[in-house]
Every structure is written in C-alpha cells, then in structure tokens.
Structure 1
Amino acid sequence: MKKSYIYLGLLVLCQLTSNLVFAQSASDEIAKYRAMLADGNPAELVEGQGEVLWMTKRGPKNVSLEKCDFGKGAGVIKGVYAEMPRYFKDVDAVMDFESRLVHCMVSLQGFTREEVIKKPFSAQGDRATDLEALTSYAVAESRGTKINVPQNHPKEKEAYARGEKAFFYRGGPFDFNCASCHASDGKRIRLQDLPNLLNGTQAQKAFATWPAYRVSQGAVRTMQWRLNDCFRQQRFPDLKYGSLTSIDLITFLGVMAKDGTMDAPALKR
C-alpha cells in the first residue's frame, strides 16, 4: 500500500514538473516568435494610415486633426498618449486618448459621435478602422516616453478610485473580476502569461505595449478593445466604447504603470 502511494506521488510530481517545463518552454518560444517579427511589425502600416488621416481635412467642417488638444496644447501629439487619461477643462471630465480623439473628430471635424463610433474595431483581417489607425499613429509618437498618468485634479483621483473598484468588482455567471487573472504572479491562460497588474514592473510592461498588433487576428487592437475583450471573457455585458468605466479602468492601470516606457504599438500573439 505504501509503495502505491509513493508511485502515485511520483507520478503526480512528474506530471507537475512536465507541465511546468512545458509552460516555460511555451513562453520562451512565444518570446522568440515575437522577437523574429518585431523588426517588421505590421502595425507600422497602420501607423502610416493614421498619419495620413491625421493630416487630411475631413468631415463636414473640412479640417484636419492637427489642432486637437490632447493635454499639451493644440496640435501637440508627441508624448500625449503616455499622459492619458487626464482631466480636460473644456469638457470638465477625464478622458482617455480614444475618447478625446472622438471628441475632436466631433467638435473639430463635424462628424457625429454616432458615425465615429459606429464601428470602432475592425473585423479580423479587415483594414484598420479610422479610430484604430489614428490611435496607432498617436501612440507611436509617444514611443520612448515615460508613462505619467496625472493624478492632480480631483476628477483624476476619482477616476482612479472608481477604476480600482471596477478592477476588483466581481460579477457575471462565473463571479469573475479583473483581479481573477491579473492580481497575482504566475498565472496563465492557454499559452499566454497573465501579467500581475498590481505589480509595478508587470503593469508597466503591459500598459506600455498597448495598443498592439495581434498576429492571430491580423489587426491592431487598442486599449479600449483590450478592455472590451476582457469583459467578454469574464462573460460581462459589452463594455461601451469610451464609457466612464473604460476610462476609469485605463486610469487605474496607467497610474499603476507609472514610470514605464511606452513601446507601442507592440506585437502580441
């Protein structure tokens, strides 16, 4: 009987060791795969598409986005993504980059909000949407910039507090929350390592590499898409594009990632 227990224990130990080795091997191979593709990131094509859109006079008012103010003054795009979400006095609210972009397309170019956000995300293999392309261009202009999401205005602090609450809020049919996957070390889903977003170093790496080109989908995916997909996987209702909850969560994640260095659009599996 004792021998049976010993054999069973050894079998379990071997299986656990095998799983650990396989997991580590899979992570290493994914890292090699990304490194091989990094020099030719397809996101560069989308960045170029976004730059053209940025400079082009469009909409009922026939103006470009070159005078949009993202927090550093009208027309300044360098480094703005690394310091958003932030409070904007003209709307008396905290906005992330994408919601501010929509605001400028409406207020400067004359588009309606409904038509701008009608299809914010491209289908797999499709040409990038205008919002994806414009966001790709802008975030590339922040590459190498330190993440510094401000917490000066009372509404910025309120957004952070709500975002933290949303991160830990449990719900849905499986009683999940963001923390179920992203609040401890060593977790993974399928072959994908899950960053602990409460760990400063891991939060920096995660925030700094979104938006990103998803090889498996053949598309650039923005932070708004990333959060929406997380809600989908938690079996929550769809997260509305540019909603208060989305901005609050991005604020929380951005503050946790303070002093990281932007390196987006990055490359994801």
Structure 2
Amino acid sequence: MKRTSSYLMAALALSALGTALAQTSATDEIAKYRQLLADGNPAELWEMRGEELWNKKDGPREATLEKCDLGKGPGVLKGAYVELPRYFKDVNKVMDLEQRLVHCRVTLQGLTLEQATKTPFGSTANQSDIEALVSYITAQSKGMKMAVSTRHPQEKAAYEIGKKMFFYRGGAHDFACATCHSANGQRIRLQELPNILNKSNAQAAYTTWPAYRVSQGEVRTMQHRLNDCFRQQRFPEPVYGSDLITALTMFLAKNADGGTYNAPALKR
C-alpha cells in the first residue's frame, strides 16, 4: 500500500509539473510570436487610414475632425488618450475616447447619432471608421504615462460605478469581470488572465489596447474588448458608447495609472 501510495503521489506531481511546463511553454511561445510580428504590426494600416479620416471633410457640414477637443484643446492629440476617460465641461459628463469621437462627429460634421456610430466594429468586408480613428489617435500617446484624473466629482463617481460593475455578478454563469480578473495565475485555454487589481497587471493589460487581433484580422478597441467580455459572461450586449461602459473603462484606466502606454499593440 505504501509503495502504491508513493507511485500515486509521484504521478500526481509529474502531472502537475507537466501542466505547469506546458502553460509556461505556451506563454513563452505566444510572447515570442508577438515579438516576431511587432515590427510589422498591421495596426499601422489602421493608423494611416485613421489619419486620413481625421483630416477628411465629411458629413452634411463638410468638416474635418481637426477641431475635435479630446481634453487638451481642439485638435490636440498628443497625450490626450492617456488622460481619458475624463470630465468634459461642454457636455457636463465623463466620456471615453469613443464616446467623445461620436460627439465630435455629430457636433462638428453634422452626422446623426446613427451615422456616427455605424459599424463600430469592422470586418474585412465592412471596415470601421471608428477603429481606424481610435488607432490613429491613441498612437499619438505612445510612450507616455497613463494619468487619468478622478479629481472632478463626476470622474470619481464614474470610477466608483465602474468598480461596482467590475465586481457585479450576473448572467447565465453568474460571472463578474472579477471572476477572471481579480486573482493571480488564472488562465483560460492557456491564455493568462491579468489580475486587474494588481497595479502592474492592470498597467500591462490596459496600455496595450487597442490592438490588432491576429485571430480576427482587425484592430479592436477597448469598447470591443469589453463587449466581448460581456458576451463571454453571457450578459446582454452593452449599448455602444454607453455611460456604463465609460464608467468601467474609467475604473480600468485609473488602475493602470503610471503605466507606459504602448498601443496599438498586437494580440493573438
């Protein structure tokens, strides 16, 4: 019996070791794959198209987006994204980048809300102007430190709402964002799940969106990332550009404060 017990313990130990090695190997290989492609990130094509769209006269008013104020003054893009979401006095609310872009397209170019939010998430046959614009705008903050404010009462309120959303459990599986992203060492299908409550993890996760998704052949924004998380939790699909998604983004962005922004990045 003692010998059998010893064999069993040894087998379990080897099995655990094998699993750990497989996970480590998979993580290392994914990292190497990203590094190989990093110098030729296809997101650069989205950035170039986004720049064209930013300077293109569009809508009933035949206007460009060059006067769009993302928080640092009309047309100022450098450093704007690392301070978003933020409170905007002209609308008396907190907005993330995609909300603010929709606002500018409506107020500056004269598009309807339906036109301004058409195709937020693109495909090969149906490109998204929003994904291209987000790629261009966010790239202007590359290398800068995240510095999201919660000084204004509405910014603080948005952060607290986002925090509640992060821990809120529901849906068919009784999941929350925290189910996957509030503990160290969790994985799904060999993919590491960052612990958003850990500052370095939060920084590494948030500062690499938007990103070109190799598996989808598209650049995906933070709004898409959160929509996909809700889909996997079996929650109803969030309304694009909703205040609740901005609040959740505020929570994630603030947790990433101090991290160096490095996107558009590359994801599997």
- TM-score over 0.5 for the alignment? yes
Indicate the residue corresponding to 2:159 in structure 1. Answer: 160
- For 1:61, give the aligned amino acid: R
Residue 129 of structure 1 and its aligned partner are, at CA, apart by 0.5
Residue 126 of structure 1 and its aligned partner are, at CA, apart by 4.1
**1:179 and 2:196 equivalent?**
no
Indicate conservation of the 8 Å contact 2:94/2:158, yes or no: yes
- What is the CA RMSD across the aligned residues, in angstroms? 0.9
Alignment of 1:217-232 (within 5 A): 217-232=216-231
Indicate the residue corresponding to 2:207 in structure 1. Answer: 208
Indicate conservation of the 8 Å contact 2:85/2:97, yes or no: yes
Indicate conservation of the 8 Å contact 1:42/1:213, yes or no: yes
Partner Cα distance (2:187, 2:238) in 1? 23
Alignment of 1:118-157 (within 5 A): 118-123=118-123, 125-126=124-125, 128-157=127-156
Residue 5 of structure 1 and its aligned partner are, at CA, apart by 2.2
Partner Cα distance (1:162, 1:128) in 2? 32
**1:45 and 2:39 equivalent?**
no
- 1:208-244, Cα deviation, whole Å (9 max, x unpaired): 1000000111000000000000001111110111111
TM-score normalised to structure 2 length: 0.98
Indicate conservation of the 8 Å contact 1:126/1:219, yes or no: no
Gaps of 5+ in 1: none
Aligned residues: 268
- For 1:210, give the aligned amino acid: W
Determine helix, strand or coil for the equivalent of 2:118: coil
- 1:87-118, Cα deviation, whole Å (9 max, x unpaired): 00111100000000000000000011112213
Q: Which runs of 4+ in 1 moved over 6 A?
A: none
Partner Cα distance (1:92, 1:2) in 2? 72
Partner Cα distance (1:5, 1:238) in 2? 51
Percent identity of equivalent pairs: 58
Residue 4 of structure 1 and its aligned partner are, at CA, apart by 2.2
Gaps of 5+ in 2: none
Indicate the residue corresponding to 2:115 in structure 1. Answer: 115
Indicate the residue corresponding to 1:65 in structure 2. Answer: 65
Flag the 1:248–1:98 CA change in 2: closer, same or farther, 3 A: same
Determine helix, strand or coil for the equivalent of 2:245: helix
Partner Cα distance (1:194, 1:128) in 2? 29
**1:76 and 2:76 equivalent?**
yes
- 1:25-58, Cα deviation, whole Å (9 max, x unpaired): 0000000000000000000001000000000110
Determine helix, strand or coil for the equivalent of 1:98: helix
Partner Cα distance (2:241, 2:152) in 1? 20
Residue 127 of structure 1 and its aligned partner are, at CA, apart by 5.5
- For 1:94, give the aligned amino acid: V
Determine helix, strand or coil for the equivalent of 1:115: helix
Partner Cα distance (1:268, 1:165) in 2? 28
Flag the 1:157–1:118 CA change in 2: closer, same or farther, 3 A: same
